[in-house]
Amino acid sequence: MNKKMRVGVLISGRGSNLQALIKACEAHDFPAEIVVVVSNTPDAQGLERARRADIPCVVVDHRDYKNRAAFDAEMTWALEDAKVELVCLAGFMRLLSETFVEHWWDKLINIHPSLLPAFKGLGVQRRAIESGARFSGCTVHYVRHEMDVGPIITQAVVPIHNADDVGALSKRILEQEHRIYPMAVRWIAEQRVRVEGPRVIVSGYGPPENVLLNPAPK
């Protein structure tokens, strides 16, 4: 069996995307394994998810560090101690320093609940609804210095319904987050992903043939 890529996951909260990654890694043919989960929040629900899966956990409480550089340095130590090859942000709610991003350049990915570059930051589902957009979705991308910016690996598109509230749209998007995050990790582990400037090339896959319309004609 080929060596599996070693993944570290950074969390701050409930860890639903962490759970999706844990489930994917349980498959014998999945080419990656989670070797450490790092949380900046000691009582994060995601830590219990990791412990149930027998994944080592490290708490790096940001309140214990005098500045962001020291905090990031401790996280890097925890990841390197576990020999991590890819870092996945999964609901990690702290800004990362340029030093941290540079250190993990092209080895650090994030999932965001919008179709980037639209609707960066927080409150994205509400903003998408209020804008009158017909579609929303989620994006897996490489992390760069600016928040929610970086080469896009994959996206999933969901329709916005006329009756949607934030909860309904968030649920529809989250289902797709759980689908595409493990998929992106698989592609990276299989060495199918190549970064070319602002773009990502995924070998062996092409664009979908279907066109989505919303509202859809009868």
Which tens digits make up the pLDDT trace of 28-71?
A: 999 999 999 999 999 999 999 999 999 999 999 999 999 988 99
Examine residue 59 and state whether it is found in any structural domain, yes or no.
yes
Q: How many domains does the chain have?
A: 2
Q: What is the pLDDT of residue 1?
A: 52
Examine residue 129 and state whether it is found in any structural domain, yes or no.
yes
pTM above 0.85, yes or no: yes
- For residue 9, what are the contacts with CB-CB under 8 A and spacing of at least 6? 18, 21, 34, 36, 37, 38, 50, 87, 88, 89, 90
Closest CA to 213 of 155, 172, 171, 157: 157
170 and 200 both lie in a single domain = yes
Mean pLDDT value across the chain? 96
84 and 117 both lie in a single domain = no
Q: Which of 84, 104, 124 is the last residue of a domain?
A: 104
pLDDT 10s digits, 180-191: 999 999 999 999
Q: How far apart are the first and last CA of the chain?
A: 50
100 and 122 both lie in a single domain = no
Three-state DSSP state, 20: helix
169 and 145 both lie in a single domain = yes
Range(s) of the domain holding residue 158: 110-204
CATH of the domain at 49: 3.40.50.170
CB 13 within 8 A of CB 39: no
Active site residues: 112
